Amino acid sequence: MSRSQRVFGQVIAVVMVAAMSFVHQPAVVSGQAYAVYTDVVADNPHGELPGGFSTALTTDREELAAALAVVRAAGVAPERYATLTRQYWLTVGAENAGIDLDAWAPERGLEANLETVDKVYVNYLRLYGTHDGFWWTGMAGLAGMSFAAGFWDLDEVGGVLDVPGVHQAGTGIGEALGGVPWELAAQMPRDVRLLATAGPTLTRSDVDWYLHRLLIMQRNIFMDMVPMHEAYLAGGMPAVRELAAGGAYDDYVLEAWQRLDEGSPDGRSEALLRMASREQNQIIADQWDATAAGRGDLGRVLTYLTTVGGAPDIPGASTLGEFRPLTVRADVNGQQTALHTPLPAFNWADREPRWEYIEQDLVPAFRSLVRDRPAEAPGYLDVGFRPRAEQNRILARLPVFAGQMATGWAIGPG
């Protein structure tokens, strides 16, 4: 008998015990009967491994549903079966997305997970269509068209990092710096200097490492955000509160759901902002820190390289370089001089500037689309994911991208 069959048999037995207890002793269910589902440690909280939050629990939706019925009927406090609840709603979300949690393993690399990468973003767009207030999932789906394209580009190292104008981005920046006064070149941030010196040395193994980091973060976001949306769809605020009872979701995100539940444009706008903050400032902030600090200097090189190419596919949103272009100043021959560049003045991996971009540019752009121009929204959100994502590939944008790297450098009084 397989482990799955044994666990399912235990669940059925417990349900029968609960049913008989209801007939003969309504309030009594053996604590031992449901102990396997209570106080379960979430040993995979950040999505680094296959499976769910707990590798000890099944990922079978029906088994988890039966287990939830048992602990609820027994009157167990929600915080004691919090991992079970999260695991259940995660399996609901994964099943609806067509994703096999046990096969979703970031360590297997991008090629093995490429279909799942697409399904994650397609599912965000699907969720957006299930409720008028699910603005965060719509924004995540649209932004995902750019991120998925970035995944594909990074995977095709021979076609991207070796393409003239892309692999040579670091060399090109180095050459551009070679043509400016040394006083200005010396003021360039460390990330730019590293891109110029270490960028051309990137190898396949460096990119594979980075892809692994990105795959973990993508999985972590899905595991955290999707269960909340599925719970709300099925059970409204009571289901969200039960999910939050174990402490995995704090008052900040619970307030986001309460504002969304109000149904007002202001409430939904606040929910969008709070959920974006949850995603970036709580779920994956530490993982971005570790990625930027990893692989020696190449963690900074890779995160800055993708910052340079960052262009979320949300109407009205700026590219990262447009949002905060890099300008440096220095005294040259006794005159205050400025060097204006097309490069972003920040690295996406850094918490504060990343959130400033999202809060000040990305969220307002998407909010304007769905709140102020709802008739236009389907033209962006109800489209085929793969064709739209293909348009975001760096190969498709190469002429513009290469032009941005070669032009926009200007020296003047500063």
User: Are 139 and 203 in the same domain?
Assistant: yes
- Bin 204: left if φ > 0, else alpha if -120 < ψ < 50, else beta: alpha
Q: What does the pLDDT read at residue 384?
A: 74
Q: What does the pLDDT read at residue 400?
A: 65
User: Are 17 and 136 in the same domain?
Assistant: no
Q: What does the pLDDT read at residue 138?
A: 96
With respect to residue 378, please indicate whether it lies within any of the assigned structural domains: yes
The rounded distance, in Å, linking the Cα atoms of 59 and 343 is 45
Rg (CA), the chain: 24
Which of 58, 75, 97 delimits the end of a domain? 97
With respect to residue 228, please indicate whether it lies within any of the assigned structural domains: yes
The closest of 233, 272, 237, 414 to 330, measured between CA atoms, is 414
Q: Residue-wise pLDDT tens for the chain (414 aa)?
A: 444 444 334 433 433 333 333 333 333 334 456 788 999 999 999 999 999 999 999 999 999 999 999 999 999 999 999 999 999 999 999 999 999 999 999 999 988 998 999 899 999 999 999 999 999 999 999 988 777 666 666 666 444 444 343 445 666 676 677 778 989 989 999 999 898 888 778 888 888 899 999 999 999 999 999 999 999 999 999 999 999 998 889 999 999 999 999 999 999 999 999 999 999 999 999 999 999 999 999 999 999 988 887 788 899 999 899 999 999 999 999 999 999 998 999 999 999 999 999 999 999 999 999 999 999 999 988 877 777 766 666 655 656 666 666 667 889 998
Determine the angle formed by the axes of helices 169-178 and 298-308, rounding to 10 degrees: 90
The rounded distance, in Å, linking the Cα atoms of 123 and 221 is 13
**Do residues 206 and 300 make contact, with C-beta atoms less than 8 angstroms apart?**
no
Which of 97, 132, 158 delimits the end of a domain? 97
| DSSP 3-state of 341 | strand
The closest of 205, 210, 215 to 306, measured between CA atoms, is 210
User: Are 186 and 92 in the same domain?
Assistant: no
DSSP one-letter string for 375-396: TTHHHHHSS-HHHHHHHTSTTT
User: Are 93 and 120 in the same domain?
Assistant: no
Q: What does the pLDDT read at residue 26?
A: 32
The closest of 19, 51, 57 to 38, measured between CA atoms, is 57
User: Are 214 and 327 in the same domain?
Assistant: yes
User: Are 178 and 318 in the same domain?
Assistant: yes
With respect to residue 261, please indicate whether it lies within any of the assigned structural domains: yes
**Do residues 103 and 49 make contact, with C-beta atoms less than 8 angstroms apart?**
no
The rounded distance, in Å, linking the Cα atoms of 402 and 164 is 9
Q: What does the pLDDT read at residue 330?
A: 96
Q: What does the pLDDT read at residue 403?
A: 64
DSSP code of residue 344:
E
Quote the domain boundaries for residue 209.
110-413
DSSP one-letter string for 257-317: HHHHHH--HHHHHHHHHHHHHIIIIIISHHHHHHHHHSTTTHHHHHHHHHHHT----STTP
The rounded distance, in Å, linking the Cα atoms of 174 and 228 is 46
pTM for this predicted structure? 0.87
With respect to residue 103, please indicate whether it lies within any of the assigned structural domains: no
Which of 97, 127, 146 delimits the end of a domain? 97
With respect to residue 104, please indicate whether it lies within any of the assigned structural domains: no
Q: What does the pLDDT read at residue 266?
A: 98
User: Are 119 and 89 in the same domain?
Assistant: no
User: Are 236 and 177 in the same domain?
Assistant: yes
Name the maximum alpha-carbon separation found in the chain. Answer: 95
- Give me the number of domains the chain comprises: 2
